[in-house]
A and B are shown apart, each in its own frame.
Chain A
Amino acid sequence: MFRMILSTQWKWSRLAVVLGAVAAFALPVLSVGQFGGTGPSRWEVQAMLGSIQAWGVLYPVLAIVLGVSVAALAWTYDHRGRHVYALSLPVPRWHYVLLRFGAGAVLLAGPVITLWAGTLVAIGAATIPAGLHAYPTTLALRFALATLLAYSLFFAAASGTMRTARYILGAIGLIVAVDVLFAIAGLKLHIFESVFLRLVVWPGPLDILTGRWMLIDV
């Protein structure tokens, strides 16, 4: 049963997964690609860290894009058929949802593994100056968690009906509207910003997506 769910989901999301896997492999390699010489100067070390930091912005972006794509594609065909096929299959609803979720999570393992492979290739090719350390496994684990987080959030949102989506968008719209009204009235209450910060700053659940994503660091 799971194998069949996995095969349908692979068929629907293979383009996103394959492109994501290629990008995940390329990112760490490109971030250190030009720093392969022996005994790098101080200037080269700074340039290397700058490059790794600049490319590092793309890891959470890739994690979000991958998670969102695979989550959305997991439900596209069920939405199209108004879920009649899924509901008429002889499995409890929670079981079907779990199968779909699990299949997506398995597919996301591909890009995570290629990212880890990319980090190993990158640190093998680069000369790491004394005092600096490489964190290939930590970076890959962080990427895995960030991807899983984005996937889980959007999987849950995408599994709902259009009515649920409207409620979520309505709630966001209401917060923004209230913020605008407060601003017009001259009140210094920023609800949207406050909610956003609670989500992205530790212990907020989206904290993992923010901050520095460094393959090589002190």
Chain B
Amino acid sequence: MSHAVEIRDLHYRAGKTFEIRDLALNVPTGAMYGFLGPNGSGKTTTIRLMLGLLRPLKGTITVLGGEVPRESPRILARTGYVPEQPHLYTSLTVAEALAFHAAFYPTWDWKWAEELRGQFQLKHDQGLARLSKGEMGKLEMLLALAQRPELLVLDEPTDGLDPVVRRDVLTALLDYVSQQNATVFISSHLVHELERICDWVGVMDKGRLVTELPMHSFKSGIKRLRIADPPALPGDTPFVVLARESGNGALETWIVRGWQAPMSQYFEGVGASLREVIDLDLEEGFVELLRTFREPRN
């Protein structure tokens, strides 16, 4: 499998309290990669490192086959970026912002930019300083898409947008991806949003990658099990026990990852009885994953 983004052994420190340690990450080419993590977990910093906006202390970053930051300009010409905070020059009008941005991208598609502008109901003479948050979000997405990138890096692109604008932005994104087979790296703390559109997921917390796996594995493999007479020590389980919680009497609840139906035989082998297997949605799975990562227990 080829990778649009490969990060190895990345180390970065900002101030005295925040650091990214030993980060390794792989984004398959053509994937919609959801980058999940709570606020302050290091998602934005990782993205900025990935694009060469920040310089790592150590480690290697390869994006679209080029090494960052050495080949950043060549990589950035093929990458659409929507930052967490609007970053455009607010003194410009929409038309001026489009013209300015287009001048830097050889693959800029004016026809499509105009189509998107109409679709997003942005007027040429609107000043950026007077755009609403939703309009600014749409303009940022327009600029990233109209340069026809091979890779889209979107840092919380729908954060703070109302549901209508959010739908417009995501529809434009999905249309583009279906046409171009581009790779999308999208960070968010809105778990449900990524659940619908992503096929890979990486979870970040406290500057470290907690897990990285296909979305279907993430969604289907995390379960809540109700177990009667559980063993004191789980021993060598065929699944990963993320958390154990005592219930009423001899009943216990386990949160597990990597679950498959035949694994229920494990409980017979240890003298326990599996009473119930409950599907967790992505958000519950995400919360449990983070809880276990922060307070490991078995």
Contacts and interface: CB of A to CB of B under 8 A. Distances in A.
B89 A81 contact: yes
Given A77-B90, A89-B104, A90-B104, A84 B73 contact: no
A1 B104 contact: yes
B91 interface: yes
Interface in A59-84: 77, 80-82, 84
Contacts of B96: 7-8, 11
Contacts of B83: 84, 88
Interface in A74-126: 77, 80-82, 84-85, 87-92, 95
**From DSSP, what is the main secondary structure of chain A's interface residues?**
helix
Interface string B121-153: 000000000000000000000000000000000
Interface stretch (B74-82, B211-219, B276-284): B74-82
Interface in B16-64: 51-53
B161 to A, nearest CB: 19
B103 A81 contact: no
Contacts of B51: 87-88
Interface in A1-31: 1, 3-4, 7-8, 11-12
Given A88-B76, A90-B76, A81 B88 contact: yes
Contacts of B105: 90
Contacts of A3: 103
A87 B53 contact: yes
A91 B103 contact: no
B99 A85 contact: no
A95 B99 CA distance: 19
Query: Among B75, B81, B89, B99, which residue has the most Cβ atoms of chain A within 10 A?
Result: B89
Contacts of A95: 73
A198 B92 CA distance: 43
Contact of A88 (B81, B90, B99): B81
A107 B5 CA distance: 42
A88 B73 CA distance: 8
Interface residues of A, number: 20
Contacts of A82: 87
Contacts of B91: 8, 11-12, 77
Given A77-B89, A87-B53, A88-B51, A8 B100 contact: yes
Contact of A90 (B53, B74, B87, B100): B74
Contacts of A11: 91-92, 96
A1 B100 CA distance: 8
Contacts of A81: 85, 87-89
A77 B89 CA distance: 6
B53 A84 contact: yes
Query: Among A3, A12, A77, A88, which residue has the most Cβ atoms of chain B within 10 A?
Result: A88
A132 B14 CA distance: 65
B75 to A, nearest CB: 8
A123 to B, nearest CB: 40
Contacts of B88: 81, 85
Interface string B161-201: 00000000000000000000000000000000000000000
Contacts of B77: 90
B53 to A, nearest CB: 5
A194 to B, nearest CB: 38
Contacts of B72: 90, 92
Given A3-B103, A8-B100, A89 B76 contact: yes
25 contacts: A4-B104, A7-B100, A8-B100, A11-B96, A77-B89, A77-B90, A77-B91, A81-B87, A81-B88, A81-B89, A84-B53, A84-B83, A84-B85, A85-B87, A85-B89, A88-B76, A88-B81, A90-B74, A90-B75, A90-B77, A90-B104, A91-B73, A91-B104, A92-B72, A95-B73
Given A7-B100, A84-B85, A90-B104, 8 more contacts: A4-B104, A77-B91, A81-B89, A84-B87, A85-B88, A90-B74, A91-B73, A92-B72
